[in-house]
Structure 1
Amino acid sequence: MKISDVQTKTVPNLNVSVSLGKKIKPTRILLHIVLIIGAFLMVAPFLWTLSSSLKDVSQIFLIPPKWFPDPITFQNYPNSLTAMPFGQAYFNSFYITAVVVLLNLLTCSMAAYAFAKIRFQGSNLLFILFLATMMIPKQVTMVPLYLIMDYLGWIDTHLSLIVPAGLFNAFGVFLLRQFIRGIPNELSEAAVIDGANPLRIYWSVILPLIKPALAAFGIFAFMGIWNSFLEPLIYLTSPEKFTVPLLLNTFKGLYFTDWSLLMAGTTISVIPVIIVYIFAQKQIIEGVALTGSKS
């Protein structure tokens, strides 16, 4: 046998042994165990909610807890939908969320374009002050904002939920600005040579190039607005104007809470968020990764 034949036969085996050695490293196994435990801890509350939605009230607070309901009570779901006007609440949540997300995509992308590509005096200072608003807790601005809404006559109207949330989102501006900064200036300069004004450049050049970041931010905004509870609780008083999270709170009474119906209604309320995440998780990952890679 030739030496060359021995080398061609042994080298692949060495590569296989090296690759197998990488797969069975104790640190890698430990990392996967920690991630699995963390994933279970994250999903356990939802699994408990799903399990409780199929129980009667007597089974929910058993000690030790029963994860598998016996018997299974599917009637909790139709009962929760008929006990409260969930149809109207779902419509309210859908249209409020849709309007706010569209406004956020428009206003945040325009502001991000201005901060990233249009140089004007004090732009950096203004951007820093803009980002500083993210450090202010909502509770600090709650009373002043309520007084403004009351002065405008928007208390117990959906405008109080749409206008402030739709016209101001510092996180969205920061996210999109980081992405827009990575777009070559030559594209904007070429559009200027062709006679395009800043608005035309924003609409025809910038927007088509930031679709991944817009998709990621739109999904984040959707989940945040859909799950919003504090603002509807403060501004809305009429049941027919309630959103889904606020309507779920009405299952909690002063002396009694129907936990079975509450868990069933909660499970139904998270279905849109789960659907959005399942079908858009690729856009979330790509949008955040691409945004983070820009400087």
Structure 2
Amino acid sequence: MTAATPPANRPRRQGSIPGRIALYATLSVLLLVFIAPMIWAVSGSFKLRGDIFEYPPKLIPSPATLDNFRNLLDGEPFWNWFFISVTTALIATAIAVFVCALAGFAFAKYRFAGKRLLFSVMFSSLSVPFAVILVPLFVLIVKSGLSNPWFALIVPWVAPAFGIFMMQQYIIQSIPDEILEAARIDGATEFGIFLRVVLPLLRPPLGALAVWQFLQSYNHFLWPLVLISETDNYTVPLGLNILFKAENRSFDLVLPGAVLASVPTILVFLLLRKQLLEGLSTGAVKG
């Protein structure tokens, strides 16, 4: 009976090969679908305007030119848009990561009056579309005299409910009370426990939250559209939008702008990819 076991297992191994081929083929097609627009944008950004929509399309520009980038950077305030978008997104992300970790720690490890009600209200806000609070938020910002773009572009993203919930769940699952009690016995303050004990253990979810939050702030279109009126203070999405809506549809400027605009998001992902993958895998296993 022992000798008959290997032949019985062979059909399973043989049968798994078509499944793997199908899986890899499906993943390859999905990868191509996701990456094809970026490849087309990079290729088109180096083409002459008349060659962008040539048929059949050519992947390698011939002739290749840098005039599109020169015209964008010399003729449009792209660097202003880029600087405002990146700076406000980085500030909003840094504040949001700290606030979400602190609030998640409080919800996970402390008891206080109104905790359940406050958490329920916070969690239920996830179901409210941003468009619903857009006008009230704008009126509140303007009436408070805080409509300066450098402030107003950051405020809506400093305490996202999703981030608080994410931190709260991770802390409950991954940080035992015994560690906190040991720190209290050693004489650490509550805020010192958060800084020295909790934060170092939150690197994976904080990295995942930072990537998500940066993308949210950097790519948002509706709030800057309502808030900003001066072209020089536009964010990158608004700037590319006015180029796209121009009378002559300036694709020769939109494509290089899109390529340059993607650089910060790619860098953030590459810098935090390890924490992002660890945070997502931890949530998948423990969630």
Q: Contact 2:43 / 2:61 at 8 angstroms: preserved in 1? A: yes
Superposition map of 1:9-158 within 5 A = 18=10, 21=13, 25-158=17-150
Give structure 2 stretches of 5+ with no counterpart. none
Stretch moving more, 69-78 or 269-278: 69-78
Matched-pair contact (CA < 8 Å) for 1:113–1:177 = yes
Q: Rg larger in 1 or in 2?
A: 1
Cα deviation, 1:6-56, whole Å, max 9, x if unaligned, reads x9xx99xx69x9599368521221111111111111111111211221222
Amino acid in the other structure paired with 2:26 = V
Residues 214-248 of structure 1: per-residue CA shift (max 9 Å, x gap): 12211221222222222211111122322222222
Cα deviation 1:195-216 (Å, max 9, x = unaligned): 3332222122111111121122
Q: Percent identity among equivalent residues?
A: 33
- One-letter code of the match for 1:222? F
In the superposition, relative to structure 1, how do residues 70 and 287 fare at CA in structure 2: closer, same or farther (>3 Å)? same
SS of the residue 1:153 aligns to:
coil
Q: Aligned-pair distance for 1:254?
A: 4.4
8 Å CA contact 2:100–2:164 kept in 1: the answer is yes
Bigger mean CA deviation after superposition, 255-264 or 82-91? 82-91
1:227 matches 2:204: no
Structure 1: how far apart are the matches of 2:16 and 2:66?
A: 45
How far apart, in 2, do the equivalents of 1:275 and 1:34 lie?
27
- The AA in structure 2 aligned to 1:55 is K
The letter for the 2-side match of 1:152 is S
Q: Would you say 1:177 and 2:159 are equivalent positions?
A: no
The answer (yes or no) to whether the contact 2:47–2:63 under 8 Å persists in 1 is yes
Counterpart mapping for 1:155-170 below 5 A = 155-166=147-158, 168-170=159-161
- Asked if the contact 2:47/2:65 (under 8 Å) is kept, the reply is yes
Q: Give the CA deviation at 1:263.
A: 0.4
Shift of 1:86: 2.1
TM-score, normalisation: structure 2: 0.89
Matches of 2:166 and 2:208, distance apart in 1? 9
C-alpha separation in 1, matches of 2:246 and 2:115: 52
Q: C-alpha separation between the residues in 1 aligned to 2:14 and 2:187? A: 57
* 1:208 equivalenced with 2:200 (yes/no): yes
Q: In structure 2, what is the Cα distance between the partners aligned to 1:288 and 1:255?
A: 44
Q: Secondary structure at the match of 1:72?
A: coil
Report the Cα distance in structure 2 between the residues aligned to 1:269 and 1:198, rounded to whole angstroms. Answer: 41
How many corresponding residue pairs? 283
RMSD of aligned alpha carbons: 2.5
Query: Residues 107 and 168 of structure 2 are in contact (CA less than 8 Å); yes or no, is this contact kept in structure 1?
Result: yes
